[in-house]
Structure 1
Amino acid sequence: MQLIWLRSDLRLHDNTALSAAAARGPSVAVYLLSPQQWLAHDDAPCKVDFWLRNLSELRHALDALNIPLLIRKASRWDEAPKVLLKLCQQLKIDAVHVNEEYGIHETRRDAAVAHALKAQGIEFYSYLDQLLFKPGTVLTRTGTYFQVFSQFRKVCYERLHASLPRLVTAPAIQAPLGIASDEPPSHVEGFDTPSDSLRALWPAGEAEAQHRLETFTGSQIDYYHSERDFPAKPGTSQLSPYLAAGVISPRQCFHAALRSNQGEFESGKVGAVTWINELLWREFYKHILVGYPRVSRHRAFRPETEALAWRDAPEDLKAWQQGRTGLPIIDAAMRQLLETGWMHNRLRMVVAMFLTKNLLIDWREGERFFMRHLIDGDLAANNGGWQWSSSTGTDSAPYFRIFNPLSQSEKFDAEGVFIKHWLPQINGMSKKDLHNRARLDGLFGVADYPSPIVNLSTSRDRALAAFKNLPSRQGLSPSELT
């Protein structure tokens, strides 16, 4: 008998490990509840709830194929070898099948499980599934992992021209095994159940993920390039939570984008090409996890930036976390995160630069806070985005490129639609007043909205000085670094 150990791959279709196991013989699936590990990884309550809701949907899909879904508990991952070995011995399992995961803790967990199982004569098979290319196969000419996305993308294009990744056939119905599925819990201790309104924004199940993908690639993708930066517009796919939980695969997304663009990924409709590039950015950051494991250890990708003199400013940090900085676009974005478990990608960059540059607070504080609230929280993407914004990471923004929240607001929310939705206390403001920098102080006399906690100009100068004084930066002007 075969055992499929489900993790971040909560789907029936195009699931490599699931299909491989089913092809080898009668199969059973298992999912491990690991609440202490999830807490240690700062996984958000809304994300854990999303996992559980998707597990429940997947259970019904597996039951229709006579594949039982069992739920076991390994509170921390170091308990996983013992728990899985016990299950394998009870069910007389011949082999365990998993889809690869790439954080340092994930790879250590899988190595420990493989060792424990093989010592007892049980095979352990892992498969490429959540990426288009296996880490270690997209390398520079000198055999190292890429540090610059554009160079990584070029090699990916070459690989895609040679061979496109194929979708995996879903398993067929198997004979009943006489093993009853377990009911996934509706909640796990240590994680509060999110609001009904948040849950309603993110329905569970493959059918919902496929519907979103088809809707997006069927029409919206044509406007993706021109509308993706405007938070008040429905310009993005809203698929990130489903990708993070593996309710849909990157291969499915890639093929849907190809269908919308006559099979092209490097030319044709600019919207489709731009979206495929975003899939490759996701790919890039996961390769970085493997090639440069220090980023999994809360370390800066650029070692010299570990010497940055970050500010210890708990009150400023709290104001940022609670959406009361006095900068409308920042506060609106943070309130979107708190209420929906999601933030528009353009705004993720804006609020990250504000925290790390204008407030000069360590990027790790922001990374941790995001993970504790994002329904699409993903170690690679979240770390990559924060390090890019803070100029400590791979392919990062030059340290002197600092988004001005006011100009970003004027450019991407010119009518103030997004801001007014999340900051109803300033609904009466005209768009002219909302974006008038000269009158920002005290926000035009609005009593229940705070004054800005920082001067954008002087705080920018402070950040530039902090970065310029790093040992590797001294003596270089911005013009010499462009």
Structure 2
Amino acid sequence: MTQVIWLRNDLRTSDNTALAAAMAAGPTVALYLITPGQWLAHDDAPCKVDFWLRNLGELSAQLRALNVPLLIREVEDWQAVPHALLKLCREFDVQGVHYNEEYGVNERRRDRAVAALLSDCGIRVRGHVDQVLFAPGSVLTQSGGHFKVYSQFRKQCLSRLDVSLPPCVPSPAAQAPLAISSDPVPTAVAGFPRPTDYLRALWPAGEAFAQRRLALFVEDDLDQYHERRDLPAEPGTSQLSAYLAAGVISIRQCLHAALGYNRGELDSGNTGATTWINELLWREFYKHVLDGHPQVSMHRAFRSETDALPWRRAPYELEAWQQGRTGFPIIDAAMRQLQETGWMHNRLRMVVAMFLSKNLLIDWREGERWFMRHLIDGDLAANNGGWQWSASTGTDSVPYFRLFNPISQSQRFDPDGQFLRRWLPELQHLDKRDIHNPAAHRSLFGVTEYPAPIVDLGASRARALDAFRNLSEARP
């Protein structure tokens, strides 16, 4: 009864629900499908595709230790996936296909098409819950609907976790060797240029490294996480988002590590640990929103009335934002960090998102797309949730009248200007007072190579508030 584990964003052997189920059911072969046309359509970043391939190479060696061959197939897009899987199943006389579930609209449609075709041919298809702590649709309000408010969702999750903690799945034992050879893992895919060696070095591949990074974060940084996580110049965050997005480490492993440090406490004890657990539950919340409200993965606002906002078409300002040339140091430093590292500090993601969607009044979807095209940790649910939160178009989003002032945010969270100097060398000579707002000292300090602000903060704030107020007044 040969089984296939169809790998997607679950590139690990430990605590892999579908892999464990497949190997328990019979001799198992692993499959990874390369779909460059679909990746391009989904705006997947070249650095993320490279990260997938590097982790796939590491995973191949770990699967080899379990005597599980890794097969690589390439099709253009997900429409071709059902027949590609059927062909492979017939080639190797496969009786069962296992995969870990994904929750976007296109992912759901792909998996339904696969299940329909293979089931008609007598091949059992089984999806498994792995990306989340609770299956979407199982955490509901008293009226049976999906939660729209995070605090209520969090309360329900903590209550359930307090009763029953999802266990980590034990790593499977090696199976008997199969007479099937693994395919070589490609080092590149057409259409996705190789990132710089600098960027690749920031994100080493492999499950073993991800586990070490988790252990070091818990040991060295978790205690002060609540105090340091908003400081972009300090290594106060876990740096695990890329590994979670690719499934090189699991959400359960992260939660168990935090609970181990916090003596089993979910909502009390060490503040750093409980703050990080809260962030893990935000990730969970957005996965459930994605599943319960499919429109958010179809380039639509959660709050449909906000699609009537008078978004501005301002290509010059959009490009200045994208390239880190807005004249606001914290915005520009964050955008340059994104381009060079494939990652941006979470506090700064909110700052730059509010600046684009409110101060510039440019459609949040432009920013969502730009992030996905550059983030190594690009995740549909988290990225969409974060952008719609910042733009006040999403579920439980920030009130429309709340705008982060980029100058005061810079002064508060990078008071000495260390982060700014790292990414804006043209401002290195300014002191810690003036570096946050060089426009006020252009002639005095000769900051001629740094652009002037592209927008007046006060006037742009008033414009955004008017746009949202007019939207509210227009509603019946």
Per the shorter chain, which TM-score range?
A: over 0.9
The total of aligned residue pairs comes to 475
Equivalent residue for 1:323?
Answer: 324
| Counterpart secondary structure, 1:130 | coil
Counterpart of 1:420, as a letter, is R
Task: Provide the residue aligned with 2:187 in structure 1.
Answer: 186
* Superimposed CA distance per residue, residues 330-381 of structure 1 (whole angstroms, 9 cap, x where no aligned partner): 0000000000000000000000000001100000000000000000000000
Shift of 1:444: 4.3
Q: Distance in 1 between matches of 2:416 and 2:326?
A: 21
Q: Which residue does the alignment assign to 1:159? A: 160
Tell me the alpha carbon deviations over residues 212-244 of structure 1, each in whole angstroms, 9 at most, x when there is no partner. 000011121001000000000110000000000
Partner secondary structure for residue 5 of structure 1: strand
Q: Hey, what's the Cα distance between the residues in 1 that align with 2:287 and 2:198?
A: 31
**1:82-141: per-residue Cα shift (whole Å, max 9, x none)?**
000000001000100000000000000000000010010000011100100000010111
CA contact under 8 A between 2:330 and 2:436: conserved in structure 1? no
Q: 1:118 to 1:341 in 2, by over 3 A?
A: same
Name 1:10's counterpart in structure 2.
11
- Structure 1 residues 264-413: aligned runs within 5 Å: 264-413=265-414
Letter in 2 for 1:74: V
Q: Secondary structure at the match of 1:32?
A: strand
Offset from partner CA, 1:137-192 (integer Å, 9 cap, x none): 10111000001100000000110011000010111111111100011100000000
Taking the aligned partners of 1:283 and 1:44, their CA distance within structure 2 comes to 23
How do 1:130-169 and structure 2 match up within 5 A? 130-169=131-170
User: Partners in 1 of 2:444 and 2:288 — Cα distance?
Assistant: 44
**In the alignment, is the contact (CA less than 8 A) between 1:320 and 1:355 conserved in 2?**
yes
| Structure 1 residue matching 2:121: 3-state secondary structure | coil
Deviations 1:227-275 (A, max 9, x none): 0000001100000000000000000000000001001111100000000
Aligned residue number for residue 446 of structure 1? 447
1:86 aligns with 2:69: no
Aligned residue type for 1:188: V
Distance 1:346 1:340 in 2: 16
Q: Distance in 2 between matches of 1:436 and 1:312?
A: 27
Within a 5 Å distance, the mapping from 1:65-80 to structure 2 comes to 65-80=66-81
Q: Whole-Å Cα distance in 2 between the matches of residues 384 and 341 of structure 1?
A: 19
Structure 1 pair 297–436 and aligned structure 2 pair: CA distance change class (3 A): closer
C-alpha contact 2:162 2:266 (8 A) present in aligned 1: no
Does the CA-based 8 Å contact 2:327-2:439 persist in structure 1? no
Q: What is the one-letter code of the residue matched to 1:82?
A: H
How far does the alpha carbon of each residue in 1:4-50 deviate from its partner, in whole angstroms, 9 at most, with x for none? 00000000000000000001111000000000000000000000000
**Aligned partner of residue 433 in structure 1, secondary structure:** coil
Match of 1:212 in 2: 213
1:391-420 residue CA offsets vs partner (Å, 9 max, x unmatched): 000110000000000000000000000000
Aligned to 1:219, the other structure's residue is in SS state helix
Q: Per the alignment, in what secondary structure is the counterpart of residue 470 of structure 1?
A: helix
Q: Distance in 2 between matches of 1:358 and 1:435?
A: 18
Equivalent residues of 1:28, 1:68 under 8 A apart: yes
- C-alpha separation in 1, matches of 2:327 and 2:439: 14
Letter in 2 for 1:162: V
Cα separation, 2, equivalents of 1:49 and 1:220: 28
Aligned to 1:241: 242
Q: Is the 8 A contact 2:306 2:471 kept in 1?
A: yes
**Identity among equivalent pairs (%):** 66
Give the counterpart letter for 2:73 in structure 1.
R
Q: Tell me the equivalent position of 1:49.
A: 50
Amino acid of the structure 1 residue aligned with 2:167: R
Q: Which amino acid aligns with 1:211?
A: R
Q: What's the Cα RMSD here?
A: 1.2
Aligned residue in 2 for 1:478: none
With over 3 angstroms needed to count, the CA separation of the structure-2 counterparts of 1:436 and 1:176, relative to structure 1, is closer
CA contact (8 A) 1:468 1:474 kept: no
Asked if 2 retains the 8 angstrom alpha-carbon contact of 1:45 and 1:191, the reply is yes
Q: Residue 121 and residue 442 in structure 1: after superposition, are their counterparts in 2 closer, same or farther (change >3 A)?
A: farther
Closer, same or farther: CA 472–291 of 1 in aligned 2, 3 Å: farther
* Alignment check: 8 A CA contact 2:4 2:94 kept: yes
Q: In the TM superposition, what is the alpha-carbon distance from 1:443 to its structure 2 partner?
A: 8.7
Stretches of structure 1 that go unaligned for 5 or more consecutive residues are 476-482
Name the amino acid aligned to 2:68.
Answer: I
Amino acid at match of 2:372: M
User: Which segments of 5 or more consecutive residues in structure 2 lack a partner in the other structure?
Assistant: none
Question: Equivalent residues in 2 for 1:427-446 (5 A)?
Answer: 427-436=428-437, 439=440, 444-446=445-447
Question: SS at the partner of 2:183?
Answer: coil
Residues 445 and 129 from structure 1, CA distance in 2 versus in 1: closer, same or farther, beyond 3 angstroms?
same
Equivalent residue number for residue 480 of structure 1: none
Does structure 1 retain, via aligned residues, the 8 Å contact 2:442–2:448? no
Kindly report which structure 2 residues correspond to 1:118-137, keeping only aligned pairs within 5 A, or say none. Answer: 118-137=119-138
AA paired with 1:85? L
Q: For residues 183 and 17 of structure 1, do their structure 2 counterparts lie closer, same or farther at Cα, with a shift above 3 Å needed?
A: same
Cα distance in structure 2, aligned partners of 1:431 and 1:414: 7
- List structure 1 runs of 4+ shifted beyond 6 angstroms: none
Partner of 1:23: 24
Q: One-letter code of the match for 2:17?
A: T
User: Does 301-310 or 426-435 show the bigger shift?
Assistant: 426-435
Give 1:445 shift. Answer: 2.8
Give the residue type in structure 2 aligned to 1:357.
K
The amino acid of 1:463's aligned partner reads A
Distance 1:305 1:443, change over 3 A: farther
